[in-house]
């Protein structure tokens, strides 16, 4: 009886134990896998995984967050922009445009850039492992990936140091929460040197040409030429002019070859006016009579472009991103812009003498007046990227929004809110003018013979570059030089000419304020920034000028402060906060 009982008891107990053991043994019972996201263990197996994240790095760069900062950091503090007509106003943007910058300003956040940096670092961390595992992913492909990712990461850091001066710098991917994150800011020139070093190392890995079947990759992804362009600009910031010129020449040479190749395939922008290279001093630029605006800024992937981020309308049927940052800030067919051209820009376009931006001698020929902004200062809006077409004609028969002085220009077809224009990072004229700037910096002061002899070839080459860029924009059947070489015979005159040409050529492309900052760093004073600020309207100019001229904080005032949220979590940044700005809050009584 009792044994029976115990038997049964034992049996059921052992069954129970088995049952428990069953569950304990499968300790993976508590291991479940997401069906919606891919986990690390299952990722980084084959080439497609790498390709996918690489694409994610580019599309991260395309986010509204990043593009709008490229615009705001690079241009909003310059004399080109002022508060647009959009209602309600974007208080943060308005404060930047009014030079009333506080550490709380939302445009001082940088997470978009660092997100791309971390994606790039993640690829650099895991891609070599994939190359080992996947025989379909060759060493040369791996190297190309390394070059591409390094270049994108370095581009992001380059934006960050130009905007903030010293920033936290890391080439390690962040994957775990126990990594050290509150890095101290690295010095501007230290970061710049690291970037140059890195790019010098990887430049040879990068592709020169992408397959012909993927024409958009040529300008939409990093090429050797794009890395050279970055190196060219970085050396200029480093004030290493010989290297700047060296890389500019490499870019120009590559572009010449590229255009030749494309002509061979019958794909280059063929001019109805024949080969116009000679017209523009041998540089492969697109004639403005031949739809240069649409080719470069609207259609994208032009022969002049070195690196751009292509966009598409985000409407149904389109799978790519639209450029909402441009649609929002520059305006669109159904959205009043947050930013409009400043009075300086609008007035300069309608003047025929005493111009600040455009050359007086260009008179009515400079089509960039319309490329940049709708020239009417009563109706001012930014044209570049926002207008789908800027038609300029020799005859006055074309109707459209026109301006008294220039009756034969017409701008129309404003783009959709989800702007489909590409966002250009580097194009040929930019590099040409960077080279001209480097050349101008090599000039020597003085009037003695030795100096004149030393200067003469440099002046000639610099002028040839500037003149080519300038002439391309002139709507003239028979080109006459509107700029006269003789007028720019000294270092300062040439330097001013280059800066002026950059100003009109690259207006609204997120370059102007960085040009000013570069000049300030080079000159060791903030005169360039003061001159720009003095031309601006709608701000407490005297207050701003006082800050900029302050010997203690003036050089800091041309950069941005670290965002308040960032200094709260990174005390290393708090200790090194930009001294020219405050949080705008008073301490609160307890």
1 touching another protein, by CB under 8 A: yes
586 touching another protein, by CB under 8 A: yes
Min dist. Cβ of residue 212 to another protein (A): 14
Q: Which residues contact 73 (CB under 8 A, 6 or more apart)?
A: 107, 159, 162, 163, 510, 513, 514, 560
Give the residue, chosen from 175, 204, 239, 537, that forms a contact with another protein under the rule CB under 8 A: 175
Q: Could you tell me which stretch among 100-108, 138-146, 489-497, 514-522 binds another protein (CB under 8 A)?
A: 100-108
Min dist. Cβ of residue 88 to another protein (A): 8
Give the residue, chosen from 77, 86, 119, 503, that forms a contact with another protein under the rule CB under 8 A: 119
Q: Which residues contact 347 (CB under 8 A, 6 or more apart)?
A: 377
Taking the least distance from each CB to another protein, the nearer of 8 and 260 is 8
Q: Could you tell me which stretch among 211-219, 270-278, 457-465, 550-558 binds another protein (CB under 8 A)?
A: 211-219
34 touching another protein, by CB under 8 A: yes
CA atoms 535, 537, 539, 541: torsion sign: positive
CA dihedral (173, 176, 178, 181) in degrees, to 10, reads 40
Give the residue, chosen from 9, 456, 460, 575, that forms a contact with another protein under the rule CB under 8 A: 9
Q: Which residues pair with 366 in a beta bridge?
A: 474
How many residues bind another protein (CB under 8 A)? The answer is 96
Give the residue, chosen from 78, 80, 108, 115, that forms a contact with another protein under the rule CB under 8 A: 115
Give the residue, chosen from 189, 217, 408, 454, that forms a contact with another protein under the rule CB under 8 A: 217
Q: Would you call 474 helix, strand, or coil by DSSP? A: strand
Distance CA 150, CA 392 (A): 41
Q: At what angle do helices 512-523 and 224-237 cross, to 10 degrees?
A: 40
Q: Which of 189, 192, 221 is nearest to 207 (CA)?
A: 221
Q: Could you tell me which stretch among 106-114, 132-140, 242-250, 267-275 binds another protein (CB under 8 A)?
A: 106-114
Give the residue, chosen from 74, 84, 291, 310, that forms a contact with another protein under the rule CB under 8 A: 310
CA atoms 522, 525, 529, 534: torsion sign: negative
Q: Could you tell me which stretch among 60-68, 250-258, 354-362, 405-413 binds another protein (CB under 8 A)?
A: 60-68
537 touching another protein, by CB under 8 A: no
* Cα angle, residue 251 at apex, residues 245 and 255 outer, rounded to 5°: 145
Taking the least distance from each CB to another protein, the nearer of 122 and 281 is 122
Q: Which of residues 549-568 bind another protein (CB under 8 A)?
A: 564-566, 568
Q: Which of residues 423-482 bind another protein (CB under 8 A)?
A: none
* Cα angle, residue 374 at apex, residues 388 and 94 outer, rounded to 5°: 100
211 touching another protein, by CB under 8 A: no
Q: Which residues pair with 427 in a beta bridge?
A: 305
Give the residue, chosen from 143, 238, 320, 416, that forms a contact with another protein under the rule CB under 8 A: 320
DSSP track, 222-242: --HHHHHHHHHHHHHHTT-HH
Min dist. Cβ of residue 205 to another protein (A): 19
Judge contact between 83 and 342, C-beta under 8 A.
no
Q: How many other C-beta atoms are found inside a 10 Å radius of the C-beta of residue 481?
A: 12
Give the residue, chosen from 92, 109, 194, 377, that forms a contact with another protein under the rule CB under 8 A: 109
């Amino acid at each position: 009886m009792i044994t029976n009982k115990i038997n049964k008891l034992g049996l059921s107990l052992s069954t129970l134990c088995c049952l428990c053991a069953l569950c304990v043994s499968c300790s993976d019972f508590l291991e479940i896998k997401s069906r919606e996201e891919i986990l690390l263990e299952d990722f980084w197996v084959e080439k497609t995984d790498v390709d996918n994240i690489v694409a994610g790095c580019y599309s991260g760069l395309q986010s509204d967050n990043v593009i709008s900062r490229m615009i705001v950091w690079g241009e909003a503090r310059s004399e080109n922009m002022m508060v647009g007509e959009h209602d309600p106003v974007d208080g943060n943007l308005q404060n930047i445009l009014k030079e009333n910058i506080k550490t709380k300003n939302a445009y001082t956040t940088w997470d978009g850039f660092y997100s791309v940096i971390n994606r790039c670092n993640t690829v650099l961390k895991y891609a070599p492992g994939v190359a080992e595992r996947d025989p379909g992913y060759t060493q040369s492909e791996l190297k190309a990936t390394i070059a591409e990712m390094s270049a994108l990461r370095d581009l992001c850091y380059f934006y960050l140091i130009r905007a903030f001066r010293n920033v936290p710098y890391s080439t390690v991917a962040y994957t775990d929460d126990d990594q050290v994150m509150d890095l101290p800011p690295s010095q501007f020139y230290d970061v710049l040197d690291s970037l140059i070093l890195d790019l010098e190392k990887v430049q040879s890995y990068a592709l020169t040409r992408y397959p012909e079947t993927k024409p958009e990759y040529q300008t939409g992804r990093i090429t050797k030429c794009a890395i050279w362009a970055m190196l060219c600009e970085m050396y200029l910031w480093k004030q290493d002019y010989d290297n700047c010129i060296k890389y500019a020449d490499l870019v120009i040479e590559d572009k010449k070859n590229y255009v030749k190749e494309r002509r061979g395939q019958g794909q280059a922008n063929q001019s109805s006016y024949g080969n116009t290279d000679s017209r523009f001093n041998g540089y492969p630029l697109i004639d403005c009579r031949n739809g240069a605006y649409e080719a470069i800024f609207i259609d994208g992937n032009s022969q002049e472009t070195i690196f751009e981020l292509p966009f598409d309308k985000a409407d149904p049927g389109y799978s790519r991103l639209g450029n909402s940052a441009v649609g929002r800030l520059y305006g669109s067919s159904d959205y009043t812009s947050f930013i409009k051209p400043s009075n300086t820009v609008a007035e300069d376009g309608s003047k025929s003498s005493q111009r600040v931006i455009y050359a007086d001698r260009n008179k009515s020929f400079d089509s960039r007046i319309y490329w940049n902004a709708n020239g009417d200062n009563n109706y001012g809006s930014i044209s570049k990227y926002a207008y789908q077409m800027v038609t300029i004609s020799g005859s006055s028969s074309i109707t459209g929004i026109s301006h008294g002085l220039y009756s034969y220009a017409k701008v129309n077809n404003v783009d959709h809110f989800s702007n489909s224009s590409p966002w250009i990072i580097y194009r040929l004229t930019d590099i040409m003018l960077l080279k001209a700037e480097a050349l101008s910096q090599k000039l020597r002061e003085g009037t003695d013979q030795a100096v004149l002899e030393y200067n003469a070839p440099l002046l000639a080459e610099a002028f040839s570059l500037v003149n080519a860029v300038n002439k391309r924009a002139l709507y003239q059947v028979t080109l006459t030089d509107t700029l006269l070489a003789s007028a720019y015979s000294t270092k300062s005159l040439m330097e001013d000419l280059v800066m002026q040409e950059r100003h009109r050529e690259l207006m609204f492309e997120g370059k102007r304020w960085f040009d000013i900052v570069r000049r300030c760093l080079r000159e060791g004073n903030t005169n360039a920034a003061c001159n720009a600020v003095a031309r601006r309207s709608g701000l407490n100019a005297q207050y701003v000028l006082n800050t900029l001229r302050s010997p203690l904080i003036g050089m800091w005032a041309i950069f941005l402060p670290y965002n308040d949220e960032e200094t709260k979590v990174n005390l290393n940044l708090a200790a090194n906060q930009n001294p020219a700005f405050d949080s705008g809050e008073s301490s609160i009584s307890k």
